[in-house]
Amino acid sequence: MFHKENPDYNRKQVGFYTLDDLVPEDHLLRQIDRYRKRKETIERLFGTAKEYHNLRYTRERGKSKMEAKVGLTLACLNLKKLAKWLAG
Domain count within the chain: 2
Do 46 and 25 reside in the same domain of the chain?
yes
Residues 71 and 33 in one domain: no
Co-location of 80 and 43 in the same domain: no
Mean pLDDT of 31-41: 75
Boundaries of domain holding 75: 59-87
| Same domain (yes/no): 74, 53 | no
Whether 21 and 33 map to the same domain: the answer is yes
Both 8 and 51 in one domain: the answer is yes
What is the number of other CB atoms lying within 10 angstroms of the CB of residue 55?
17
Q: Is 24 exposed, middle or buried (0-12, 13-18, 19+ CB in 10 A)?
A: exposed
pLDDT tens per residue, range 45-62: 888 888 888 888 888 889
To the question of pTM greater than 0.75 for the whole model, the response is no
